[in-house]
């Protein structure tokens, strides 16, 4: 017992120092844990309201930054307000068809994290020659959502998000349904800021083909506050 007591007294300062050091490192906001949390971006989502209900898209600016900036810009300009579901089949449905279509392009972005190996993938359609996607996406305003896995579409259609809520609405959507509104949930500024000059070009192209007429079949859906109607 005396030997144990002597060893305890001799090692007591070291034990206290080790305990204090561990406490300080565990509480240090600049430590590894704090750095990882600081680098975690906030989620950016788009809530799509339709005649059948809502579904939510998780946008992926981390892997498709230009595509997400384009989509968010279109949403914030009210481009999809009152738009009709242009096509629907067991594989997918598409939204945002306009004639004439805005004439601008941007590079296609692909990632193994967004493959067509599951339902609910959101991607741009190719309204012109599909071969164009090798270099750029033509008229990137019309998007589609898959209902089933479509692996042959990998590396053909550029995806930029996926459905995380509202799969019942996804499966029930039919041609002729209407998009009442789309709103962005989360802070879109970090996604838009790097592409300010491109966005100005995109908006000029959208305005060039804008139709001042209100879509007559939309049932008089009010334009959401804070959005500017573009494309009609």
* pLDDT digits 0-9 by tens, 72-106: 999 998 999 888 898 899 999 999 877 778 888 88
Residue with the larger pLDDT of the pair 176 and 11: 176
| Domains of the chain and any CATH numbers | 45-218 (2.40.100.10)
Rounded to the nearest 10 degrees, what angle do helices 196-208 and 65-76 cross at? 50
Entry pTM: 0.74
Instruction: List, for residues 123-158, the tens digit of each pLDDT value.
Output: 998 755 555 555 567 768 999 999 999 999 998 899
Judge if the upstream peptide bond of residue 100 is cis by omega within 30 degrees of 0.
yes
CA 70 to chain centre: 10
Element (H, E) at 207: helix 196-208
Stretch 43-57: mean pLDDT: 95
Is the separation of the CB atoms in 44 and 184 below 8 Å?
yes
Q: For the chain, give the longest Cα–Cα distance.
A: 95
User: Model confidence at 25, in pLDDT bands (50, 70, 90)?
Assistant: very low
Question: What are residue 123's DSSP bridge partners?
Answer: 144, 159
Is the separation of the CB atoms in 191 and 72 below 8 Å?
yes
């Amino acid at each position: 017992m005396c030997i144990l007591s002597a060893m305890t007294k001799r090692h007591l300062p070291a034990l206290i120092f080790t305990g204090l050091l561990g406490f300080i490192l565990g509480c240090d906001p600049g430590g590894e844990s704090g750095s990882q949390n600081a680098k975690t971006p906030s989620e950016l989502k788009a809530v799509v309201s339709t005649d059948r209900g809502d579904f939510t898209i998780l946008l992926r600016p981390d892997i498709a930054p230009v595509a997400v900036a384009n989509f968010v810009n279109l949403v914030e300009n009210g481009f999809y307000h009152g738009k009709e579901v242009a096509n629907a089949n067991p594989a997918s449905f598409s939204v945002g068809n306009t004639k004439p279509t805005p004439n601008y392009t941007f590079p296609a972005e692909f990632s193994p994290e967004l493959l067509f190996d599951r339902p609910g993938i959101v991607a741009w359609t190719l309204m012109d020659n599909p071969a164009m996607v090798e270099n750029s996406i033509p008229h990137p305003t019309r998007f589609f959502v898959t209902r089933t896995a479509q692996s042959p579409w990998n590396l053909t259609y550029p995806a930029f998000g996926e459905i995380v809520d509202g799969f019942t609405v996804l499966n029930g959507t039919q041609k002729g349904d209407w998009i009442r509104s789309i709103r962005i949930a989360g802070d879109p500024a970090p996604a838009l800021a790097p592409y300010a000059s491109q966005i100005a070009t995109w908006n000029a192209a959208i305005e060039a083909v804008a139709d001042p007429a209100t879509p007559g079949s939309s049932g008089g859906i009010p334009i959401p506050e804070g959005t500017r109607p573009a494309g009609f």
